[in-house]
Structure 1
Amino acid sequence: MVVGDVTTGTDVLVIGAGPAGYVAAIRAGQLDLDVTLVEKDAYGGTCLNYGCIPSKALITATDIAHEAATAEEMGIHADPAIDLAGMVEWKDGVVEQLTSGVEKLCKANQVTLLEGTARFVDDHTARVSHSGEGQGSETLEFEHAIVATGSRPIQIPNFEYADEPVLNSRQALELDSVPDSLVVVGAGYIGMELAGVFAKLGTDVTVIEMLESILPGYDDDLKRPVKKRATDLGIDFEFGYTASEWHDRDGDGIRVVAEPADQAATDGGSEQAAGERLTLDTDHVLVAVGRQPVSDTLAIEDAGVETNDRGFIETDARGRTSVDHIFAAGDVAGDPMLAHKGSAEGKVAAEVIAGEPAALDHQAIPAVVFTDPEIATVGMTETEAAEAGFETVTGTFPFRASGRALTTGDSDGFVKIVADEADGYVLGASIVGPEASELIAELGLAVELGATLEDVAATVHAHPTLSESVMEAAENALGHAIHTLNR
């Protein structure tokens, strides 16, 4: 211990105030535990400040502008003026409202808040270096700890985020003027969401992806409407390439250079022959190739906690690490790197520490991509169910047969339900189309409760609504859908 250092004690030390950490701290406070929450940056973490919330705010704003500008079929003729600085100011207001709310909720639940960076000294002690000059540090002794330090964007060689033309997702969300052109490196969910935002703002967008299609890990039938809509927006794709370097063009933007990946360009990519170097002139390049855990700032090895070769802290279903009284939750605890998964893990960790019999079943955790149209999945796919030994039955309902979807002018996509053929239990579902992020909740509940196709089909849904499509998909699996042909 440093001479003059203040030492305090706490039942539960939570490191990181993102969706996993602040939720864990609040739940632990509700369970009458003495809780100290340490955050080095901003309450709410990446999700509330730089990721989920600001990106969805801009997605909503640009959707409104795009829909108004393309609604001639409905008899609406408009040419919206885009004020990106004003849009960002509104987005920042939403973020401020939510982050200040997090701080108030923590205090209302008797959570002690500390601003600073925590590092482990041993498995029951951590030092917190406070932010700001002359703020010093203090030592915390804890009975239990929950590590919830989140993740950060992966950086690729020759593309430093400190260089002004090179953007990560956080920096892209802070631009106050619309770039004429943008190269996006990576066609995962972050790259595709932001590519859509800027395309709707009028930016010429080109996406470089080393694989052969967008959104790796999602089935082709889910990706197809997203790829088509992106192409309709004017987004160009270059598949089979990896970005290798960039050069300044003497005040006239930059030139991004990409080399061929192991496979040839496919899926509607460049007309250049596979094997040729690709050069793209642009104003900015957005690197969105994924995220990595923030576990290297904690001296976590001094607490005896093990990480895997990717830096993730491995946990059991109760959030315990290799050290029984130290837990991990959220992105730092591994895939899927989703805010709501982190929050669920934070609750479980707090409840286990309080002596409750909590555990997390990952089977019913939904995943959502906020592209246009949205994609949402929960539970098993048809392939996964077959691999698990189930004989499956599926039901599908297209949004083009939905009266409500047609009245919104957005009828691309479908709802698909996968069930066990023998007893009808819902095993999983996937949706691509309008409001998929909202519709998936009903199907997540079906998976969680062990509901059957009959349960879903027999639940009367309001008309006209998009949610009727869920009911019709269940009826289709049973062979008696009304508004689509049965298989």
Structure 2
Amino acid sequence: MTQTLKTKVLIIGAGTGGYVAGIRCGQLGLDTVLVDGGDGLGGTCLNVGCIPSKAIIHAASKFETVSKAAGEGTLGITASEPAIDLSKTVAWKDGIVRKLNNGVAALLKKAKVKVIKGWATFEDAKTCRVETADGPITITAEHVILATGSEPVELPFLPFGGDVVSSTEALSLDAVPGKLVVVGGGYIGLELGIAYRKLGAQVAIVEMAERILPLYDKALTDPVMKWLTDHGVEMHLGARAGGFGDGKLSITTKEGEPLSLDADKVLVTVGRRPRTAGWGLENMGVAMAGPFVKTDDRCATSMRNVWAVGDLTGEPMLAHKGSAQGEVVAEVIAGHDKRFDPVTIAAVCFTEPEIVSAGLGPLDVAGRDDVITAVFPLAAIGRALAIEAAEDGGFVRVLASKDDHRLLGVQAVGQHVAELSNSFAQMLEMGAVLEDVAGIIHVHPTLGEAFHEASLRALGHAIHI
């Protein structure tokens, strides 16, 4: 027998957009049901994306550090040749995920959000049927928040399965592959490819574009490319992948020549797409913007009281964007006057070294003569030298208006610069000018001093260069 529920707010998807919307709805006293039919509470980010990938990256960096200490040693430190049991590393990573899952569950319970585990299919804009382990449930709601997230893009000639894996499977391998070929030179492929290279795998990258991370300017990606080259990663740029069989991936090189690459695993990371199929979106009558659900600055769709957040709504497909949208929608439903209109949404690549970008970059202002650009190298920062973060060409760069010195963008590349991203975003969101950053007493010794010095340099009087 089908159970029926009626609720004020129905949320489909328990990722960072969905569960944050749920918690905020609960805090605002809205009767809320959250349907989790995907990766689990926390969605892709917590379960098979942001968090577990950073855990594996951290473990790989620790392994690399110990490896450097073997033989002649490093910084006066010597150690025996390290070994890794990847299954134990994965178990540690899974423990982190479970802890965070439990934390999200506790927060939703505290907010009095009813969580239903199962797959939802919409019959119309406000009614869905959820298949659960205990039988079907029909839910009707006054407001519906769509937060179904995204999924890896599969290439028709390289379907996932067996030794062809997506980032999800790459985070749960039981052993380090001897030879790993990564198809796709974007941030996901490079993050995982670099991690497995640190763990001892022979890694090759196949990218259709002429260079890695093509959405970022060359100055930002050059230090990453240098690391890849210095660490023996085989690069095939301007190349196209073909089929895989008998442990070999066929590719076509930039020159049009056929080539076979030995591979124990092939990691396909050619992008992600919004999860729009399989749950009845076509029955809801919402307008689309290409592959994404069309929304306005309140995250409202074309259907009254149907809202959408996160990857479903378009680029940038970032967890922190979804969380912010989830909060906005909850407050709009509660009657608050809210808009989703950020000045910037900062992005980070957890490569080696890391890349941060907030606001406009050189590619966005090419040809303009009303912009000041200034770069300050991490090699001139004491903290960077003291933690071996000054030798890879890292820097902080600021872009500002010539007329009023308003910050337009901030970028950085270097070890540990991900931790500067919030400072960059904060200054842009507050409408800071160069003099604001220059006038802040930055703590010494920290990497953040490079932001200060870059701003001083844009004003014509950097101190330490």
TM-score range for the pair, normalised by the shorter chain length: over 0.9
Partner of 1:268: none
Match of 1:300 among 251, 273, 281: 281
Match of 2:23 among 20, 26, 32: 26
Give the distance between the partners of 2:36 and 2:123, measured in 1 at CA: 18
Give the conservation status (yes or no) of the 8 Å contact 2:242–2:250: yes
Displacement, 1:371? 0.1
| Correspondence list, 1:173-212, <5 A | 173-212=171-210
1:43-70 residue CA offsets vs partner (Å, 9 max, x unmatched): 1111101111000001011111212322
| Correspondence list, 1:74-473, <5 A | 74-78=75-79, 79-130=81-132, 132=133, 135-162=134-161, 164-248=162-246, 254-260=247-253, 265=254, 274-310=255-291, 312-385=292-365, 391-411=370-390, 412=392, 413-473=394-454
The alignment's C-alpha RMSD in Å is 1.4
Give the conservation status (yes or no) of the 8 Å contact 2:206–2:237: yes
Aligned partner of residue 100 in structure 2, secondary structure: helix
Give the distance between the partners of 1:245 and 1:362, measured in 2 at CA: 42
Amino acid at match of 2:150: S
Amino acid at match of 2:217: D
Give the distance between the partners of 2:342 and 2:377, measured in 1 at CA: 28
Give the distance between the partners of 1:321 and 1:217, measured in 2 at CA: 28
Give the distance between the partners of 2:82 and 2:74, measured in 1 at CA: 17
Displacement, 1:141? 1.0
Aligned partner of residue 439 in structure 1, secondary structure: helix
Give the distance between the partners of 2:66 and 2:378, measured in 1 at CA: 21
Give the conservation status (yes or no) of the 8 Å contact 1:15–1:39: yes
Give the distance between the partners of 1:456 and 1:322, measured in 2 at CA: 41
Displacement, 1:73? 4.3
Amino acid at match of 2:251: A
Q: Which runs of 5+ in 2 are unaligned?
A: none
Displacement, 1:234? 1.4
Aligned partner of residue 137 in structure 1, secondary structure: strand
Partner of 1:271: none
Give the distance between the partners of 1:35 and 1:335, measured in 2 at CA: 27
Identity of aligned residues (%): 47
Displacement, 1:361? 2.1
Aligned partner of residue 423 in structure 1, secondary structure: coil
List structure 1 segments (4+ residues) > 4 angstroms apart after TM superposition: none
Give the conservation status (yes or no) of the 8 Å contact 2:372–2:400: yes
Aligned length: 458
Which piece of structure 1 moves more, 118-127 or 330-339?
A: 118-127
1:303-327 residue CA offsets vs partner (Å, 9 max, x unmatched): 21123332x1121111111113111
1:334-375 residue CA offsets vs partner (Å, 9 max, x unmatched): 111101111111111111111111112243210010001000
Note if 1:39 corresponds to 2:26. no
Q: Which runs of 5+ in 1 are unaligned?
A: 249-253, 266-273
Give the conservation status (yes or no) of the 8 Å contact 2:342–2:429: no
Give the distance between the partners of 2:137 and 2:256, measured in 1 at CA: 57
Aligned partner of residue 52 in structure 2, secondary structure: helix
Give the distance between the partners of 1:238 and 1:116, measured in 2 at CA: 42
Give the distance between the partners of 1:50 and 1:440, measured in 2 at CA: 23
Partner of 2:455: 474
Give the distance between the partners of 2:430 and 2:269, measured in 1 at CA: 36
Amino acid at match of 1:276: E
Give the conservation status (yes or no) of the 8 Å contact 1:68–1:76: no
1:216-247 residue CA offsets vs partner (Å, 9 max, x unmatched): 21000000000101111211111122211011
1:144-183 residue CA offsets vs partner (Å, 9 max, x unmatched): 1110011111100222212x11111010110011111111
Aligned partner of residue 24 in structure 1, secondary structure: helix
Amino acid at match of 1:48: L
Question: Structure 1 pair 313/301, CA: closer, same or farther in 2 (3 Å)?
Answer: same
Aligned partner of residue 179 in structure 1, secondary structure: coil
Displacement, 1:206? 0.4
Give the distance between the partners of 1:386 and 1:166, measured in 2 at CA: 40
Give the distance between the partners of 1:188 and 1:207, measured in 2 at CA: 10
Question: Structure 1 pair 386/204, CA: closer, same or farther in 2 (3 Å)?
Answer: closer
Displacement, 1:386? 5.9
Give the distance between the partners of 1:383 and 1:391, measured in 2 at CA: 14
Aligned partner of residue 373 in structure 2, secondary structure: strand
Displacement, 1:143? 0.6
Partner of 1:51: 49
Give the distance between the partners of 1:39 and 1:474, measured in 2 at CA: 46
Amino acid at match of 2:333: I
Which piece of structure 1 moves more, 391-400 or 74-83?
A: 74-83
Give the conservation status (yes or no) of the 8 Å contact 1:185–1:191: yes
Displacement, 1:80? 2.4
Displacement, 1:416? 0.3
Displacement, 1:87? 1.0
Amino acid at match of 1:286: L
Give the conservation status (yes or no) of the 8 Å contact 1:386–1:392: no
Which piece of structure 1 moves more, 147-156 or 376-385?
A: 376-385
